[in-house]
Chains A and B, each alone.
Chain A
Amino acid sequence: MLMCREATRLMSLKQDRVLTLREKTALRFHLSMCGACRACARQFDLLHAIGEHHPAALKPSSTQDD
């Protein structure tokens, strides 16, 4: 059975490549039972979003002028 350590590996991998069906299923099943890993998964998603939001990276947002 998938434990937290391995679940975090899949959550991380999901940011970098498409998971296989088996990986997705195993991860989803684990997340359905584990609140700490659900929090971790959301945090990995957030870390993946920093490129778009970093104050230094200033992707054009609401002030777009083109």
Chain B
Amino acid sequence: MKELLSDIELWRARGQRVVLARVVTLAGSGPRDPGAAMAINEASEVVGSVSGGCVEGAVVSEALAVLESGQPRLCTFGYSDDEAFAVGLTCGGTIQIFLEPLE
């Protein structure tokens, strides 16, 4: 997250609302370890990443919902047979991402 701080501080200084998304658990195969972080502002600008690009789009949607509600949330992105069309990691792992507003 260190590398995101200058952008987050710039956005906050501009008065933009920001959501911080962090990988908190990883089960099985996955590209990024716990602590990998991404920040999203209310204009849908993005810095950082939480996977190899597989779930970033879905994380942006969740982040905008967090801005709407003002409530943090824990999201799970995985891949199983009965949700083959759901958003997941192509590598077959499951990650949990915690999203929280920094307003």
**Chains A and B are bound partners:** no
